[in-house]
Amino acid sequence: MSSKSTTKTPQAERVTTTEDIHPMTGFLRMDRMPHIWCPTCGIGTTVKCFAAALDKENYDLDKVAVVSGIGCTGRVAGYMKLDSFHTTHGRAIPFATGLHLANPELKVVVFSGDGDLIAIGGNHFIHAARRNIDITVICINNFIYGMTGGQCAPTTPLTANTSTTPYGNYEHPFNLPHLATSCGAVYVARWSALHIRRLTKSLQEALRKKGFSFVEVITPCSTLYARRNKLGTGLDLMNYYHDMCEIDHDVHPEDVDINFQENITLGKFVDIEKPTFLDCLEDGYKEKLGDKYLSVRSSHTRELVGHD
């Protein structure tokens, strides 16, 4: 049952497409392999952890949808064997919000790069967190715009070199866990592409969580960011995560800033309960409309909110 890729790139040689040897083939569109991600990029690792989380949680895959925007991470949607949507730059969250509201039974997951989610999509991010929309957002933070050539992003550490900041970046970056927390997210965690067991467990928790859950995955772009900043190879990056990441679940998210080549704090920073947007809507409409109200949560009646 194995089909070998005929593409001649070195990557394709290594990722010989098989239907039967990789444990995650059930979650992936193997006909799309080889994927576009560079060797040692953490996006693939995160996809594997996500697939493992779905597997462990025994999700009905017909009830899971993945939404991505644009960029290297945006390609995740195309590789997952799920209902998946590769949307426009920065618009994964509004698309996901619509999907969730139209069919609340779906588990809707956004996979996004840091530029896509927090630069062009930043406004959508803060408002979805504020409203506590019941979706899971996974952000691959590679510290730059990867796909378009390594430009500076709102997450680029201070002083780091990028293609648009050849003398260093002098804009303060966002601290994503702090941003998500202060906007209202009910689950906030940060892991690295090295911490695969913890990341998988965290993704399981985030998926289970009712409300806006956010998991940041630190995985500096092993091609553009690492090369420009002379950080070595992907293996050197792995050693870096190993030596410089500290796990601290009790730290306040405002204290988990990332500074260039300094320690990175990982952990689960927030795990709270709060009514979701739909919970609030349902309660409010029931109170205002009484018997006339038909729940938006029921697949049979959701088109009839407040209908006479």
Ligand X SMILES: Cc1ncc(C[n+]2csc(CCOP(=O)(O)OP(=O)(O)O)c2C)c(N)n1
Q: Which C-beta is closer to ligand X: that of 216 or that of 282?
A: 216
CA angle 125, 126, 128 (to 5 degrees): 65
Dist. CA 213–CA 153, nearest whole Å: 22
CA angle 219, 220, 225 (to 5 degrees): 160
Question: Least separation, in Å, of the C-beta of 257 and ligand X?
Answer: 19
* Contacts of 264 by beta carbon, 8 Å cutoff, 6+ apart: 190, 192, 218, 241, 244, 245, 246, 256, 258
Question: Least separation, in Å, of the C-beta of 132 and ligand X?
Answer: 24
Question: Quick one: tokens of 153?
Answer: 């992003």
CA 143 remoteness from chain centre: 14
Question: Least separation, in Å, of the C-beta of 102 and ligand X?
Answer: 24
Question: Least separation, in Å, of the C-beta of 214 and ligand X?
Answer: 15
Q: Which C-beta is closer to ligand X: that of 90 or that of 104?
A: 90
Q: Is the peptide bond before 34 cis (omega within 30 degrees of 0)?
A: yes
Paired with 107 in beta bridges are: 64
Residue nearest to ligand X (CB): 113
Selection from 147, 146, 150 nearest residue 165 by Cα: 150
Question: Least separation, in Å, of the C-beta of 261 and ligand X?
Answer: 19
Selection from 181, 217, 220 nearest residue 202 by Cα: 217
Residue holding tokens 């618009």? 91
Q: Which C-beta is closer to ligand X: that of 112 or that of 202?
A: 112
Q: Which C-beta is closer to ligand X: that of 132 or that of 141?
A: 141
Question: Least separation, in Å, of the C-beta of 139 and ligand X?
Answer: 9
Yes or no: say if 276 and 257 are a contact pair by the CB < 8 Å rule.
no
Query: Site residues (CB under 6 A) for ligand X?
Result: 70-73, 89, 113-116, 140, 142, 145-148, 153
Q: Which C-beta is closer to ligand X: that of 215 or that of 278?
A: 215
Q: Which C-beta is closer to ligand X: that of 174 or that of 293?
A: 174
Q: Output Rg (C-alpha) for the chain, integer angstroms.
A: 20
* Contacts of 54 by beta carbon, 8 Å cutoff, 6+ apart: 27, 61, 64, 207
Q: Which C-beta is closer to ligand X: that of 109 or that of 186?
A: 109
Q: How many CA atoms lie within 13 A of 199 on its CB side?
A: 25
Q: Which C-beta is closer to ligand X: that of 142 or that of 181?
A: 142
Question: Least separation, in Å, of the C-beta of 153 and ligand X?
Answer: 5
Question: Least separation, in Å, of the C-beta of 174 and ligand X?
Answer: 12
